[in-house]
Structure formats: structure tokens, C-alpha cells
Amino acid sequence: MAIDDLDILRQELPEVFSNHAVPPDWEEDWLMIPIDDPEAFQSEAENPPDFELAPGGVGMAQDPGAPSDAVFSPESQVPDFGDTVFPGVPSAKGPWTEVPPPDAFAFYLPFHYFHPTWWGVYIVLERLHEFADALAKYSGGVLTFNEALNVGKMFLYGHEAFHHIAEAFATRLEVTHRFPIYSDGFERVYRRVYGTDECIEEALASAHGYRKVKTRAFRRPNDSRKRGAALSALDCYIKLCPPGYRRALEFVADSHFYMQGLRLLNRTTMKPSHQFRGRDHLFGYRLLTPSLALAVSRAG
Ligand SMILES: [Zn+2]
């Protein structure tokens, strides 16, 4: 599937698309900075960013195993989509019991709702800084802030890109079945289970981000100590995440990842005879690489 295919899909199957609005003042409130190669990993940022914790941050040390000095803002300052719910929607509903979920630092706008202009993955820069600071602390100081920034970016992009994988799979079913599956079945299941440990899509999304870090971070040159510290820091973060998200570590091994992906995606199809079987059907499909932009608050 290529970008042009989305235009053709829209012409041929307009009923599977709908137009969702971005928040009012979207372009006035946020500056979008495109990132050319979203899956690239740099051990060192070329220009170390100015880092400041968001004002009004609070400690989150309810868990005795959590480092006491990781700090997250009580409310995530992300674009507010109101009551709209779709997988990947920015999560602004803090404060969280332990740590904010990945969707409070980054978000995905699906092409079913935001084609042709705004669909893609966004990472909120201020929140990425907060996340990187936490990861550096969870690593016991092995990762520098800039290294943690790149680990955080890769993990968050991987998480949000999984929401795109699920959407692309729904699209494949729509092409063959010719009725809305993403906006109906997929979203209905997501709404029903969101906020519980039944929300496997969020667990798989974080597992996907974790697997990206495992396979790509600190490979050139190879540094297994840094990579191990990055994965340990993500372990620590994931275990503190809200229900659903916190189950990611169950699915990071190949067999579990594909098996659960199959279960999640099959559950949304209409009849058993329509269900796909086998991992090739799930992940052998060539996907678009969703575009990535850093969203920077103009208020800051
Ligand atoms: Zn998510």
C-alpha cells in the first residue's frame, strides 16, 4: 500500500472514511516539526535540547519499586480531542495513579478520520522530555538524557505505529468485505475494553515499541550494556502503566506477539468464516510508514 492508494481507497470506498475535526486552534496552539526518518536511532542528539521539567510536576512514587525522583505532570498537555475515542487518541485525562500511558506523550491520528491532511504519528516534545528524564532515572544513570530521549522517541513511535498496523489490517478486511470495519468493529471493541487489562491493542502497541528498541537501539556501534539499560528502563515504566498498557511485557516474545495480534484482530471480524488465520495474513501485509512530527506547544 502506498500513499496514493489511500486516495484510490477513498474514491472507491468512501463509506469507510469519515472526517473528524482536529481541535479548534490546532494550528495556532501547536507547531508541527516533521521528522524525515521516524525509525532511525541516534545514540546522541546533535543538538542537545534545553530540558526543563514542566511546572507543577508531582512525584509518582506510589509503587515502592519505582525510583522516587521520576516526575510527571499531573495533566498531560496534549491536544484535546474532547470525548472522541479512537485507538491512538491523545490521552489527556490525568492525573494517573502511577505513570501516564504512552498515549499521553504521543498520539496517532488514523487515516480513516484524518485523511488527507493530518493523519500520522505525533510526539509531543515537552512530554517526550519528561518521559526521557524518567527513562534516564529508571536506567540507574546508565543512559544519558540524550540517549533516553532517542530510546523514548523510538518506543513512542513504535507504540503509535502499531495503532496504524491495526488500522491497516482493518482496511485490508474492508477492501475484501466492502463495508466499514475500522470505524465499526475495531473501534467498538476498543471502546468496550479501554481502561481494562482486556485492552490488548494497547499492550501490543507497547510491545511493538519495546521490540523496536530491542532490535534497533545501540546497534551501530553495538552497545549491549546501553541497550540492556534501555530495556530495563522500559520494563520499569511499563509495569507502572495503566491497565492494558501494563501487560506489554507478556507479548514481547515473537510467539506471543503474533498470537495475541491474531486474536485481537480476528475478534473484530463479523463471522468466523471471514476471519484470517496465520501470521502472514496479519503482518505480511506491506504497510505505510506513518509520518512522524514533533508537536511543540506554542504556549511554552
Ligand atoms: Zn496507544
d(CA 115, CA 120): 9
User: For 210-224, what is the mean pLDDT?
Assistant: 95
Binned at pLDDT 50, 70 and 90, residue 218 comes out as very high
For residues 82-116, b (16+ Cβ closer than 10 Å) or e, as one string?
eeeebbbbbbbebebebbbbbbbbbbbbbbbbbbe
Hey, which of 162-166, 231-235, 259-263 has the most confident mean pLDDT? 231-235
pLDDT for the residue numbered 300: 59
Confidence bin at 266 (pLDDT 50/70/90)? low
pLDDT of the residue at 190: 83
C-alpha cell at 237: 515504566
Task: Give the Å distance between the CA of 294 and the centre of ligand 1.
Answer: 17
What's the mean per-residue pLDDT of the chain? 82
CA of 2 to the centre of ligand 1 (A): 24
Residue predicted with more confidence, 172 or 251: 251
Q: 236 C-alpha to center of ligand 1: Å?
A: 18
pLDDT of residue 126 exceeding 60:
yes
- Cβ-Cβ contacts under 8 Å for 141 (sequence gap 6 or more): none
| CA 137 to chain CA mean position, Å | 22
| pLDDT range class, residue 58, cuts 50, 70, 90 | very low
Q: What pLDDT does 284 receive?
A: 40
How close is the Cα of 245 to the center of ligand 1, in Å?
8
The fraction of the chain above a pLDDT of 90, given in percent, is 45
pLDDT at position 169 = 80
**Per-residue pLDDT, 276:** 55
Q: How far is the CA of 10 from the centre of ligand 1 (A)?
A: 25
